[in-house]
Amino acid sequence: MSTPFDTPGTTVAQRIAQALPRLSRSHRQVADYVLEHPLQVATLPIDELAAVVGVSVATANRFARALDFDGYATFRAELVRGFEPLVAPVERLRGNLERPTTVAEVFATALDESRRNIDATRQTLDYAACEAAVERIGKARSVYIGGFGASAWLAGLLQHGLDGSCSDVRMLSSVSGVTHAARTLMHAGPQDVFIGLTFPRYLTDTIALAQLARSQGCAVIALTDRPSSPLAPLADVALFCQTETSYRPNCETSVLALIEALTSAVSLRAPDPVQSAGRILQAVRPWLHGANGLQRISGTAAAAPQIPDAPAPSGAGSKKKKASR
């Protein structure tokens, strides 16, 4: 028998709108909550939804049937379908919490996942893309780095790694927000490079800045997890990194390893890398513990610190003269 919801592609919101005239008061109460918090509901089992809305579990299940679903499970599956990349970490964490485990097992699992992600990243890495990324960064007048959310910390480490090899490296994520980053990118051009970092759950800020960089004629390098990432189609060069993990949205360890590899290659390709390292050492010397005796660097090595002669004790000379009289 045909129903009002047989049309392919009908969303949960559309089903609610079509069924609204015949929903009971308690069902409308559930519907209002679903429409206001669809992402949250996509992560809730039926008992938790019933508790937060203030209805019975039976009412929540009847609400799903009123929308012509077989039950709450199929209703939630349909709701999740539009949010799969967003709710996946929550679902993985829920599954892990349902299985009893010890702290030692969590440590072992997390470390094993980091190792596997690094190995998978290395095995699937496109070294021609790596070469192209290093060449573009090395020739760039300015390097703009965009990463927000958890990727902002990784973007900071990328800036730190490139700062000694590139003449101008700019971090776009700051307290001023993404609009200031957009204003900064308005100075970019064909001689510059934009490096964007984004991983599930992808942030629109990074995507929007990559689009702006392209419109300015700026080369775009993407550090992301897969070709289906929304950042990948915008990139001239894409470096992919596996980030699968059981307990968090992403494994940052493998991303950091890729960043260290990239910055190491850029450093070795830079003109006079040893001289650059020496200048950095000289600049930070006042803040290095035990470096007070380090002399200014000349060439490629520091001159050995010279120990001055100990001054003669006060009055020693006059006593000697008196003794010789």
Query: What's the pLDDT score for residue 55?
Result: 93
pLDDT given for residue 277 in this prediction:
76
DSSP 234: G
pLDDT tens-digit readout, 115-147:
999 999 999 999 999 999 999 999 999 999 999
> What CA–CA distance (Å, rounded) separates 50 from 59?
8
**Could you tell me the pTM of the whole model?**
0.64
How is the chain split among helix, strand and coil, in percent rounded to 5?
55, 10, 35
Of 252, 45, 82, nearest to 156 by C-alpha is 252
List pLDDT tens digits, range 275-320: 777 777 788 888 887 776 666 555 544 444 444 444 554 544 444 4
Q: Which domains does the chain have, with CATH numbers?
A: 12-82 (1.10.10.10), 109-274 (3.40.50.10490)
- Is the distance from CB of 138 to CB of 266 less than 8 angstroms? yes
Asked whether the beta carbons of 245 and 257 are under 8 A apart, the reply is no
Q: What is the pLDDT of residue 2?
A: 36
List of residues 6+ apart from 130 with CB closer than 8 A: 239, 261, 262, 265
Q: Kindly state the helix (H) or strand (E) to which residue 38 belongs, with its residue range.
A: helix 38-41
Quick one: which H or E segment has residue 116? helix 103-124
pLDDT for the residue 151: 93
* Cα of 12 vs its chain's centroid, Å: 31
pLDDT at residue 136 in the model:
97
* Residue recorded with tokens 């965009």: 146
- Of 74, 77, 129, 153, nearest to 265 by C-alpha is 129
Q: Where do the DSSP E strands lie in the chain?
A: 143-147, 169-171, 193-197, 219-224, 237-240, 297-298, 301-302
**For residue 325, is the peptide bond before it cis, meaning its omega torsion is within 30 degrees of 0?**
no
**8 Å CB contact between 218 and 205:** no
Rounded CA-CA distance 161/134 in Å is 13
Quick one: which of 247, 236, 243 has its CA closest to 259? 243
Q: What's the distance, CA 274 to chain centroid?
A: 30
pLDDT along the chain (325 residues), means of 10: 39 84 91 84 88 93 92 86 62 65 87 93 93 96 95 95 93 88 95 95 92 96 92 95 84 95 93 77 81 58 45 48 43
